[in-house]
């Protein structure tokens, strides 16, 4: 595994660490901070790359549950053509409420051992919770 070598963040022209960023830029992989050295006024950019993404804020636990549930569902869809076809119909319907309801009922009836209690936060309705997660997935796939 390649190691990531940290570098000191300092002006490449004078070595000062007094700088201000005046703009930022990013794509899927890199985040670039455009900087202005306060000592010699050289302009430079700092390139960042993500090494970890952690959810923050009060919904952190909720996000973990959603992530697991999404992964479980996507794994099922990969392995079961029949389910995949039903899912495709659901997407084509624009995740229409009745279709969504039908799909979730089918999921819970046929894969009840997969969608066990551990996948859901305590006190949440499985149906409602699945509906939330699937709606988000539908938007991403439409």
What is the per-residue binding string for Zn ion in 66-85, x denoting contact by CB under 5 A? Answer: --------------------
**Binding flag, residue 13, Zn ion (CB under 5 A):** yes
The residue to which tokens 């939330």 are assigned: 132
Angle among Cα 115, 118, 120 to the nearest 5 degrees reads: 75
42 near Zn ion, rule: CB under 5 A: yes
CB of 126 to Zn ion, least distance (A): 58
Long-range contacts of 19-23 (CB under 8 A, 24+ apart): 19/44, 21/46
131 part of the interface to Zn ion, by CB under 5 A? no
Residues in the chain, total: 142
The answer to whether 114 contacts Zn ion (rule: CB under 5 A) is: no
Per CB under 5 A, the list member of 39, 50, 114, 136 interacting with Zn ion is: 39
Question: Do 77 and 89 touch, CB atoms closer than 8 A?
Answer: no
Per CB under 5 A, residues contacting Zn ion are: 11, 13-14, 16, 37, 39-40, 42
């Amino acid at each position: 595994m390649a190691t990531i070598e940290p570098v000191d963040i300092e002006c490449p022209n004078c070595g000062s660490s007094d700088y201000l960023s005046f703009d930022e830029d990013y794509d899927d992989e890199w985040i670039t901070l455009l900087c202005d050295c306060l000592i010699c006024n050289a302009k430079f950019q700092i390139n960042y790359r993500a090494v970890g993404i952690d959810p923050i804020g009060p919904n952190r636990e909720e996000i973990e549950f959603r992530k697991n549930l999404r992964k479980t569902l996507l794994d099922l869809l990969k392995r079961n053509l029949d389910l995949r076809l039903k899912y495709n119909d659901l997407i084509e319907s624009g995740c229409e409420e009745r279709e969504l309801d039908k799909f979730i009922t089918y999921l819970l009836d046929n894969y009840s051992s997969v969608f066990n209690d551990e996948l859901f936060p305590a006190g949440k309705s499985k149906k409602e919770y699945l509906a939330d997660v699937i709606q988000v997935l539908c938007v991403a796939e439409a």
